[in-house]
Amino acid sequence: MNAKKAVLPSSGKNGFHTSPASRIFDVCNYLFFGIFTLLCVYPFYYIFINTISDNTLTARGQVLFYPMGVHFSNYTQVMKIQGLGQATLISVARTVLGSVLSVFASAFVGYLVTKEKLWHRKICYRFIVATMYFNAGIIPWYILMMNLKLTNNFLAYIIPGMVSPFNIILVKTYVESIPAALEESAQIDSAGYWVRFTRIIMPLCMPILATVTVFTAVGQWNSFQDTLFLMTDRNLYTLQFLLYRYINESNALATVLKNTGGNMNINLAVVQTPTSVRMTVTMIVVAPILLVYPFFQRYFVGGIMIGAVKG
C-alpha cells in the first residue's frame, strides 16, 4: 500500500515551516513596528535638524525632513547662557548621587520586606504601597520641606526620593524569585542580613537594579518641579528648570543672544530666534539621557520580566 507523502510548507532560514499567511503576517509585523519606530525617533531627529539649520527657515517651519543651511553656531551661542554650566553640574550631581542612594535604599527595603521575621511585615509593605496612591498635596509637602530645612538645599534633590515604592515592589518581586537555599547557606555560616544582602542578594539582583537605576536616573534628570518650588538660589538651579524658564522666556533670550553678536553685519541665518533657542536647549538637555539608554537597554526585559513571573 503506497502512502502519499504529506506536503509540508517550505522552511525558512531558521528551519521553521512558513506559509503565505505567515509571510504576510511577518511583513505586516515588520512594517507596523518599523513605522512605530520612526514615529518614536522622528521627534528627536526633527529637533536636531532644526538646531543645525538656517534659523530663518526654522522659524518659518520649513525644516521638516533634512537640515537646510547647516551651521552649528546655535550650540556655541546657547553655551554662553549664564548659569548653564552650573545647572549642568547640579543636574549631573543630583542624577548620580540620587540614583545611587535611591537604588541602594530601595533595594535594601525591598529585600527586608521579603523576610518573614520582619515585625508586621505585611502591614509595613502595604503602607509603602499605599503611598503610591495617596499623597497630602503640594502645600503640605512644601511645609514639610520647609520645616526640614530643605529649601535652597541641595539635599532636597536627594533625600525625598531615596525610597521609591515602585522600585521597592520591583526589587521585592525579583528577590522572591531567587532560590532561598542560596541565602540559607550563608545563614548557616552565621552571616547576618547585611552580609547576605551585600554579598549574595545584590550581585544576583543586578538586572533589576540596572533597570531601577535607569528609571531613577531618568526621573532625577527630568525633574524640575522641586527646583521650581524649593529653590530661589540660582546656584542650585537644574538644567531642566533652566529649560523650563528658557522655553517660557525664549523671545527675550533670543534678543539677548542676538545682541551678543556685537555688530549689524551678522548673518541672518545664524541669528538666534525663539524657535532656535527652544530647539537647541531642548537638544542639550535631552541628549545626555538618550546616550545612557543603550547601555542599560539589555537589562530591561531580564530585569522586569524575571521579577514579574512567579511559579
Domains of the chain (ranges plus CATH)? 20-79+249-285 (no CATH), 84-242 (1.10.3720.10)
- Which pLDDT tens digit goes with each residue over 95-129? 888 888 888 888 888 888 888 777 887 888 888 88
Averaged pLDDT of the chain: 75
Confidence of residue 302 (pLDDT cuts 50, 70, 90): low
From the list 212, 276, 233, 293, the residue with the least C-alpha distance to 78 is 276
Is the pLDDT at 151 greater than 70? The verdict is: yes
DSSP annotation string for 10-75: PB-TTS-B--HHHHHHHHHHHHHHHHHHHHHHHHHHHHHHHHSS-HHHHHTT--SSS-SS---HHH
More confident residue, 181 or 300: 181
Is the pLDDT at 31 greater than 50? The verdict is: yes
Give percent of the chain with pLDDT exceeding 90. Answer: 0
CA angle 193, 197, 199 (to 5 degrees): 115
172-196 mean pLDDT: 77
Whether 194 contacts 77, CB under 8 Å:
no
Confidence of residue 297 (pLDDT cuts 50, 70, 90): low
Spatial separation of the C-alpha atoms in residues 216 and 222, rounded to whole Å = 10
Is the pLDDT at 11 greater than 80? The verdict is: no
- Which pTM value belongs to this model? 0.68
- Which pLDDT tens digit goes with each residue over 188-216? 777 777 888 888 888 887 878 888 888 88
Give the CA distances from residue 111 to residues 151, 183, 212, in Å, rounded to whole numbers and listed in that order: 32, 12, 14
- Which pLDDT tens digit goes with each residue over 262-290? 444 444 444 556 677 777 777 777 777 77
Confidence of residue 253 (pLDDT cuts 50, 70, 90): low
Provide the residue type at 93 as one letter: A
Provide the residue type at 219 as one letter: G
Q: What is the pLDDT of residue 268?
A: 42
Which runs of E-coded beta strand occur in the chain? none
244-260 mean pLDDT: 61
77-83 mean pLDDT: 71
Q: What is the pLDDT of residue 158?
A: 86
